[in-house]
Structure 1
Protein backbone atom coordinates (compact mmCIF):
# COMPACT_ATOMS: atom_id res chain seq x y z
CA UNK A 1 0.00 0.00 0.00
CA UNK A 2 1.42 3.38 -0.98
CA UNK A 3 1.53 6.13 1.58
CA UNK A 4 -0.14 9.42 0.77
CA UNK A 5 1.34 12.85 1.32
CA UNK A 6 0.28 14.55 4.51
CA UNK A 7 -1.81 17.71 4.13
CA UNK A 8 0.96 19.63 5.94
CA UNK A 9 4.69 19.33 6.39
CA UNK A 10 6.67 19.70 9.58
CA UNK A 11 8.88 22.25 7.80
CA UNK A 12 5.79 24.44 7.18
CA UNK A 13 4.88 24.35 10.87
CA UNK A 14 8.47 25.09 11.89
CA UNK A 15 8.60 28.04 9.49
CA UNK A 16 5.33 29.47 10.87
CA UNK A 17 6.50 29.10 14.48
CA UNK A 18 9.88 30.73 13.73
CA UNK A 19 8.16 33.63 11.96
CA UNK A 20 5.88 34.20 14.96
CA UNK A 21 8.85 34.08 17.32
CA UNK A 22 10.84 36.54 15.18
CA UNK A 23 7.85 38.92 15.22
CA UNK A 24 7.71 38.74 19.05
CA UNK A 25 4.33 37.01 19.00
CA UNK A 26 4.48 34.16 21.54
CA UNK A 27 2.38 31.23 20.36
CA UNK A 28 0.05 29.85 23.01
CA UNK A 29 -1.69 27.23 20.87
CA UNK A 30 -1.42 25.68 17.42
CA UNK A 31 -4.15 23.96 15.44
CA UNK A 32 -3.74 22.00 12.22
CA UNK A 33 -6.95 21.37 10.26
CA UNK A 34 -7.49 18.21 8.22
CA UNK A 35 -6.95 20.24 5.03
CA UNK A 36 -3.49 21.30 6.27
CA UNK A 37 -4.37 24.81 7.40
CA UNK A 38 -2.06 25.86 10.24
CA UNK A 39 -3.52 28.31 12.78
CA UNK A 40 -1.35 29.93 15.45
CA UNK A 41 -2.90 31.58 18.49
CA UNK A 42 -0.99 34.45 20.09
CA UNK A 43 -1.18 35.97 23.57
CA UNK A 44 -4.01 35.82 26.03
CA UNK A 45 -5.09 32.57 27.56
CA UNK A 46 -5.92 30.65 24.40
CA UNK A 47 -5.69 27.35 26.27
CA UNK A 48 -8.94 27.99 28.12
CA UNK A 49 -12.01 28.05 25.89
CA UNK A 50 -14.56 30.80 26.47
CA UNK A 51 -17.50 29.93 28.73
CA UNK A 52 -20.31 28.21 26.86
CA UNK A 53 -23.13 29.85 28.80
CA UNK A 54 -23.62 32.93 30.97
CA UNK A 55 -23.88 30.59 33.95
CA UNK A 56 -20.46 29.12 33.14
CA UNK A 57 -19.02 32.67 32.94
CA UNK A 58 -20.56 33.54 36.32
CA UNK A 59 -19.25 30.31 37.85
CA UNK A 60 -15.73 30.96 36.49
CA UNK A 61 -15.76 34.49 37.90
CA UNK A 62 -16.44 32.98 41.34
CA UNK A 63 -13.39 30.71 41.03
CA UNK A 64 -15.29 27.43 40.70
Structure 2
Protein backbone atom coordinates (compact mmCIF):
# COMPACT_ATOMS: atom_id res chain seq x y z
CA UNK A 1 0.00 0.00 0.00
CA UNK A 2 1.25 3.46 -0.89
CA UNK A 3 2.25 5.85 1.89
CA UNK A 4 -0.02 8.82 2.64
CA UNK A 5 0.13 11.69 0.16
CA UNK A 6 2.23 14.72 1.01
CA UNK A 7 -0.98 16.78 1.41
CA UNK A 8 -2.19 14.27 4.03
CA UNK A 9 1.19 14.32 5.75
CA UNK A 10 1.10 18.12 5.97
CA UNK A 11 -2.37 18.13 7.51
CA UNK A 12 -1.40 15.55 10.14
CA UNK A 13 1.88 17.35 10.87
CA UNK A 14 0.18 20.68 11.53
CA UNK A 15 -1.83 19.09 14.33
CA UNK A 16 0.38 16.28 15.62
CA UNK A 17 3.81 17.88 15.33
CA UNK A 18 3.14 21.61 15.35
CA UNK A 19 0.25 21.41 17.81
CA UNK A 20 -1.94 23.84 15.88
CA UNK A 21 -5.66 24.09 16.44
CA UNK A 22 -8.01 23.54 13.51
CA UNK A 23 -8.49 27.29 13.25
CA UNK A 24 -4.76 28.02 13.08
CA UNK A 25 -3.99 25.11 10.77
CA UNK A 26 -6.80 26.20 8.47
CA UNK A 27 -5.28 29.68 8.29
CA UNK A 28 -1.89 28.19 7.38
CA UNK A 29 -3.52 26.31 4.50
CA UNK A 30 -5.86 29.20 3.63
CA UNK A 31 -8.99 27.11 4.24
CA UNK A 32 -11.71 27.15 6.90
CA UNK A 33 -11.35 25.29 10.17
CA UNK A 34 -14.20 23.00 9.07
CA UNK A 35 -12.44 22.17 5.80
CA UNK A 36 -9.26 21.50 7.74
CA UNK A 37 -11.05 19.08 10.09
CA UNK A 38 -12.46 17.22 7.08
CA UNK A 39 -8.99 16.96 5.53
CA UNK A 40 -7.54 15.81 8.85
CA UNK A 41 -10.21 13.13 9.17
CA UNK A 42 -9.48 11.83 5.66
CA UNK A 43 -5.72 11.98 6.26
CA UNK A 44 -6.02 10.02 9.52
CA UNK A 45 -8.15 7.38 7.78
CA UNK A 46 -5.58 7.09 4.98
CA UNK A 47 -2.76 6.75 7.51
CA UNK A 48 -4.73 4.12 9.44
CA UNK A 49 -5.30 2.10 6.23
CA UNK A 50 -1.61 2.40 5.36
CA UNK A 51 -0.47 1.26 8.79
CA UNK A 52 -2.96 -1.62 8.84
CA UNK A 53 -1.67 -2.78 5.45
CA UNK A 54 1.95 -2.42 6.56
CA UNK A 55 1.36 -4.33 9.79
CA UNK A 56 -0.31 -7.18 7.91
CA UNK A 57 2.70 -7.57 5.61
CA UNK A 58 5.37 -7.22 8.32
CA UNK A 59 6.65 -10.56 9.61
CA UNK A 60 6.49 -11.27 13.32
CA UNK A 61 9.60 -12.03 15.39
CA UNK A 62 8.66 -15.70 15.39
CA UNK A 63 8.44 -15.75 11.61
CA UNK A 64 11.84 -14.08 11.31
CA UNK A 65 13.59 -16.42 13.74
CA UNK A 66 12.12 -19.58 12.18
Q: TM-score range by the shorter chain?
A: under 0.3
- In terms of fraction of residues, the more strand-rich structure is 1
Could you say which structure has the greater relative contact order, defined with CA pairs below 8 angstroms and 6 or more residues apart? 2
- In terms of fraction of residues, the more helix-rich structure is 2
Task: Give the TM-score normalised by structure 1.
Answer: 0.27
Q: Which has the larger radius of gyration?
A: 1
